[in-house]
A and B are shown apart, each in its own frame.
Chain A
Amino acid sequence: MTTGNWLCLILFPLILTIMAFPMGEYMAKVFSGGRSFLTPVLSPVERFLYRLFAVDPKEEMSWKTYALSLVLFNIIGIAVLFLLQLIQGFLPFNPQQFGAVRWDTALNTAISFGTNTNWQAYSGEQTMSYLTQMLGLTVQNFTSAAIGIAASIAVIRGFIRKSAAAIGNFWVDLTRTVLYILLPLVIIVSFVLVSQGVVQTLSPSIEATTLEGGKQVIAVGPVASQVAIKQIGTNGGGFFNANSAHPLENPTPLTDFLELLSLLLIAAALPFTLGAMLKNRRQGVAIFAAMMVLYLAGLGVFAWTEMRGSPLLEKAGVASGMNMEGKEARFGVVNSVIFAQSTTVTSCGAVNSMHDSLLPLSGLVLMFNMAIGEVIFGGVGTGLIGMLSYAILTMFLAGLMIGRTPELMGKKLELFEMVMAVVIIVTPAILQLVLSSVAISTQAGIASLGNTGPHGLSEIIYAFASTSGNNGSAFAGLNANTIFYNLTTSLAMIIGRFSTIIPALAIAGALAQKKIVPVSTATFPTTSSLFIFMLVCVVIVVGALTFFPVFTLGPLLEHLLMAVGKTF
C-alpha cells in the first residue's frame, strides 16, 4: 500500500468525526425546538406547512399514536409509489416512453424505497420514467429517511423524559427533518455534483456517433437531485443501474469523496445528537466510539484483503493480481474499499464498485456489517436505534454480572424493554437465515444465481442480509427480478423495517413513563471505555454466533478454495 492509501484510510474517519459532531449538535437543536441559523428562513415555511397539514405542533403523542401515524404515513407512501409505477406510461416526463413496471417489480420497488432499503431489482435507465424517479423514488428517499430520523429522536426522548406519557409529535419531527436537515444538505450536494458533471436534465437520451463511427445512446435524466438525497438519506437507490459507479452519477474523485461523506454524515452525527439532548455528551461519544471501533476493524480486514489482490489474477498475468474487476479506474481499489465498507455499515447501499466481484473475505466483512442489523452507524435513525438495543442487551449482561437491576442513561431496564430490544436484534437474523434456506432449497431460488460454488451461497445470503437490514446493496450477479425474489425480499424488507421501528417506539414509550434514577456509586458507568468494549464485544459475539456456520460455507470456503487455485 502506498502512503496515499494509508492517508485515505486514516484521514477519512477523522474528517467524518470532525464533521459529525457539529452536525449532531445542530440536529439536537432542531429537535429541541431551539433556534439555529436557518430558523429565520425556514420557520415561516414550517408554520405554513402545519396550517396546511392541519397539524398542531404543540400536540404530543403517546408511543402508540406516534407509531400509528408513522405506519399509516409509510404505507400510504408505498401504495402511491406502487400505483405510480403502474401508470407511468400515461403520465408526463417520460421521454423514453417506458410502459408500466411489472407488478412484482413495482411492488418490490415500492416497499424497497418506502423502507429506506432501495434494493433495486430493476435497471433504472431501462425501467423508470423521469416522473417516477422524481415524484416517486426521490420523495420516498426523503420520507423514508425522515421517518427513521424521527423514530430515533422519539427514542432519545424516551430516555430524557421522566414520568411522561408522550414521546413527541410525529408530524413535527417529520416536517422538521425534511425542512431543516435533509433539504439544506441535498441542495448543496446537488449543486456540487452538477458542477462536477453529474447530469441534471429532463431531456431525452442523447444519441452520439462515436469517434470510431459507432452509435451510442447515452441515458440521462434528473440525476443529481436524486443522487444527493439517496446519499444523504442512506437510501442508496441509484438513478442508473450501475449506481454511484456510473460516470454520470459519480464522475470524479471529488464527487466520490462528497458522496461518501454524505452517506455517513447523518448516521454518524446521531450519537452526538443523543449526547446533546441527554445533556451528557460523553454518552454520545461512547456510542459513537463503539460504532467507530467496529467500522475501523471491518475496514482494516477489508482493505488488507483487497490490497493483497487475487492469486488467480496474478497467475493469469495481471500486474500484482490487483482486483480491478467491477471497479472504476478513477477510484481505484482503496476508495472502492472505503465506499463499500461505508455503504454496508450504514444502510445506504449505494455502490461505486460491484460487490459481487470483491474477494471472498471482503464480501464476508460486508455481509457481517449488514447481518448484525445495520448498527455500525447504520441507517439514518435506525442505526442509532439498533445500537441502543445492543446497549440495552449489554447492560442486561452487565447487570447479571454485578447482580443489580440494569440501568441505561438513568432509566431502569426491565422485562418489557429487554424483550423489545431482543426483538429488534433477533428478527433480522431469523429473517435472513430462514429466507436464505428457503432460497437454497428451491429451484426458483437457485435458478437466479449468477455464480456457482460457495460464491452462489454468498449471493443468496447477501441478498437477504441486505434486504432484512434495509441496506439495498447487492451481489448483483443474482437475478433478483423474478417473482420469487421480488416477493421474498419484499417480505424481508418490510418485516426488517417495522420490527426495528415499532419495538423501538414501544421502548421509548415505556422509558418515558419511568423516573430517572440518580447516579450512585453502584451505577455501571455507560460512558466508560469498559462499556464501549463490552458493547463492541456483544455486537461481535451475537453476529459471530448467529452467522459463523453459514459464513464458513460461503465466503470462507471460497477463500480457501481460491488459494489452492480452484474455480467454479
Chain B
Amino acid sequence: MMQLKRSILVFAGLSIICGLIYPMTITVVSQVIFPQKSNASVIKKGDVIIGSEIIGQLFTRPEYFHSRPSAIDPPYDASNSSGSNLAPSSAKLWQQVKARVEQVRKENSLPSNIPIPADLVLASASGLDPDISAEAALIQAPRIARERKIPESVVEKIIHQNTENPFLGIWGMPHVNVLRLNIALESIAVQR
C-alpha cells in the first residue's frame, strides 16, 4: 500500500517536471532566443506565408526546379508526413520508378539511355524532403534556362551558391533546397 501511494506521488511529481515545466521552459526560451527557427522557419512574401524554408513543396511548372516525388496523398501535405513504404521488390515501385524516369527524361529532353539521379525519381522518407542532390538540380538547369530565357550559366550559379555541404564535410550529402532555388529564380526574373 505504501509503495502504491508513493508510486502515485512520484508519478505526479515527475509528470509536472518532465511533462509541463520542461517542455514549457524549452518553448518559452526557444521562442525568445530562436524566434525564426522555433516557429518552423517560415518564409514570407509581404504578409503572406509562402512556406517553410525546411519543408518541401510541390513544383509542377517547367520554369521551376522540381522537388522529389512525395508519397503523401496529396503530395507535400505537411500535416500528414509519410514515406511510400514500398518494398525494394515491389512491382508497384518498379512501375512508378520507370514512369518517373521516363517523365524526367522527357521534361528535360534527355536521351533515353541516360541514368537519372536516384533522389529525383524515388520518394523521400518524410514525403516532405525540402532538398534534392546537386546532380538532380543540375540536370534540370537546361530546361529552366530555356523556359525562363536566361543563360544556363546563371541557373548553374544559383545551384552552386545554394549547395549545402555535409556536416564536417562528410556527414550527409551535398544538397540544395528546392524552395530556396526557386525563390532565387524569381528574384532574377524581377531584376530583369
Contact = CB atoms under 8 A, between A and B. Distances in A.
Which 5 pairs, one residue from A and one from B, show the smallest C-beta to C-beta distance?
A253-B172, A332-B173, A245-B125, A477-B85, A354-B83
A241 B125 CA distance: 10
Contacts of B188: none
5 contacts: A123-B81, A126-B80, A171-B10, A208-B49, A313-B118
Contacts of A190: 26, 30
Interface string B103-139: 0010000000011111101111111111111011000
Interface of A: 4-5, 7-8, 11, 49, 52-55, 65, 68-69, 72-73, 76-77, 80, 123, 125-126, 134-136, 138-139, 141-143, 171, 174-175, 178, 183, 186-187, 190-191, 194-203, 205-212, 214, 216-220, 222, 224-226, 229, 240-242, 245-248, 251-254, 256-257, 310, 312-314, 316-332, 335-336, 351-354, 356-360, 450-451, 453-455, 458, 475-477, 558, 561-562, 566-568
B82 to A, nearest CB: 6
Interface residues of B, number: 104
Contacts of B173: 329-332, 335
A307 B49 CA distance: 40
Interface in B51-89: 51-61, 64, 68, 76-89
Nearest to B128: A247
B167 to A, nearest CB: 4
B79 A8 contact: no
Nearest to B31: A201
B85 A450 contact: yes
A324 B119 contact: yes
A211 B80 contact: no
B55 A247 contact: yes
Given A4-B166, A175-B10, A357-B85, A142 B18 contact: yes
Contacts of A257: 167, 171
Contacts of B114: 317
B85 A360 contact: no
A532 B42 CA distance: 52
A53 B172 contact: no
B24 to A, nearest CB: 8
B88 A325 contact: yes
Contacts of B87: 356-357, 450-451, 453, 455, 458, 477, 558, 568
B189 interface: no
Interface stretch (B140-148, B151-159, B178-186): B178-186
B49 A194 contact: no
B125 A352 contact: yes
Contacts, number: 387
B10 A174 contact: yes
Contact of B59 (A143, A212, A317): A212
Given A247-B130, A316-B98, A451 B86 contact: yes
Nearest to A251: B54
A558 to B, nearest CB: 5
A357 B34 contact: no
Contacts of B60: 212
Contacts of B76: 216
Contact of B88 (A201, A336, A357): A357
Contacts of A72: 3-4, 7
**Taking each of B14, B55, B83, which has the highest tally of chain A beta carbons within 10 Å of its own beta carbon?**
B83
A197 B37 CA distance: 5
Nearest to A247: B54
A328 B80 contact: no
A58 to B, nearest CB: 15
B3 to A, nearest CB: 5
Given A212-B57, A245-B81, A335-B172, 5 more contacts: A134-B20, A242-B126, A320-B115, A450-B85, A561-B89
B85 to A, nearest CB: 4
